[in-house]
Structure 1
Amino acid sequence: YTQLQSHTPKTLRRLQESLNTFHSHKDVFIDLKIRKHFNIPKLHALQHYVDRIWALGSADGYNTELHERLHINFAKKAYQALNRRDYTSQMTIWLQRQEAFALRESYLDWLDDTLTAEARAPPEPSYPDVTVTQLETINGASDFTPAFTRFIRRDMPRCGILPNRHDHFAVFKKIMIHLAKNRYLSATPRKAQIRTTPPILARGCSPGTPAHFDTALIIEDPPSYRTSAGIEGLRVGQIRAIFQLPPQYGTYPHPLAYVEWFTPFNQPDPTTGMYTIQRSS
């Protein structure tokens, strides 16, 4: 009766009578030990056919392909990925991991336009007049002038002058990184702080403070990082200086940073599973 393209109260009554007849005699299969139970989704769905046809019309435009597709994705594939031992619990774990992968993938897709976190420097630099010599000796930015020269040639091609050792820079001692929202990690906005603080000498009763130059995981290759869901595309760097572009070279939308790179990630240690890196030469 469910295959009819149109129904009347009579056909729906016959449909309900057929269902009642089946339920009144189905226990014979259990008595003969042909089946242990009838907890089958399709049989459960039969109980709703009459009500749904009254509410939505005939069922000739519906099928069970969606459920059969899900049976392949959530049951057959899960079972094929296992060693056939304690398969119920293993299939549950497998499905949880597939859901975690799907959530991570959808999050990265959403994050596509906001892959780089927003960095905000303080309104005013902490050290407004720092020389190149101070950056090299106090901050440890040993190759500052060559690196800054490469930046000017590459990113400021219309600039008619090149850096020299007489330049002065406005330097920040920290910046705040406003991380992209991730509802799977925290409901509140998250921040990270990167400090580039030179040492403070002891004076009188005040003890000195050692230098503090933070390291960070930096997105070196955005396309690789976006698709890897891991550390691919990332590289460790130590930030030695955060500074403003001097006005004689033009304007830039955000502060610049001098980064001392570490070697890229290779294969993890076979014993510890951890990566070994060192400062790039």
Structure 2
Amino acid sequence: MDPQGITACRSILHFIQLAQYPSHDNETLQYMKNELLSWHLNKDYFIAKGARSNFDIPKFHSLLHYVDSIKWVGATDNSNTEAFERLHIDFAKEGWRSSNKRDHFPQMTSFISRQEKKIESISVLHGAPGFLGALKLFLNDFLPPLDKQKKAGALGGFLPFRTLEVWHNFGLVPLKILDEPEKSLIKAQPLSTTGKPARFDTVLVLEEDSAQSTAVQGCRVGRLRVIFRLPHTVMDNRKGLMVKAPTDWPREPLGYVTWYTRFKPAPDQATGMYRVEPAIASNGMPHGAIIPLSNIRQSCMLVPGRMSWDKEWKSENILDECSSFFVNNLQTKYTYQTIY
């Protein structure tokens, strides 16, 4: 699509997001006016291309009255039922779909499951060839300085355990900004025995000290491959016995993410979205790291950043097949308020 068409779409979508703010001041109302003006300046693109003959549509006309209406009677969320419909999906539909439809109430309240997996199988099942190396590097940071010097290198270090507790998903409620944030169910789910496709969601990770609860500074996009926790007991090689794990090991849940390139100083001009690509090492392996699960700030959606669309792309393979993405900041009201 030509930049004029993209700008028109972006403007109307930004207007919709701004119109749903739960509170306003003169600055945010001016933002709405600017985006609506941009829409009207660029909408003729669709008429020129034959997509429409006109925009004489009552709903488009009503947009002209939004700012005055907000000034008179308050923010639009006073007459919005969207949040209650969303809660019905979270608390009823998702749990029902995850059950076997028999004795479903207990299943609907505890459908987030976990299981133990051998470390050797995780890399294969989760499409994470760098997991084992990243785990050794991560644990190397907890060795005493003398032990670190004796090691030939963290990648050659011995792991004193064979299994890990692994989860396939977790619920995340981001920090409240303006609206009540929607709870996200973030998945790192391998191919099931029933043939259900694997799903490894993309997330926004707090990577540097400069990272905050909004904006992208100090943050980085990663694809969550494994959700796990370190074991409470480990093998003592000298004694051949199981002993308690080191007291300084993290007890909180951890995640293994494969990285995308860091954010550029400014987003793409036409879309208003940041472009990222999978971060690949010179040996073809994806860059990845072990992170505390609490470093995941929020979920995020990636959309293809290429001009041409491959017919082989599907929802279950597009993150593996496409080489360039936009970070969609129009996914929800919350992402519009936080990803910029």
TM-score range, shorter chain: 0.3 to 0.5
For normalisation by structure 2, the TM-score amounts to 0.40
Larger radius of gyration: 1
Larger RCO (alpha carbons 8 Å, 6+ apart): 2
The TM-score with structure 1 as length reference comes to 0.47
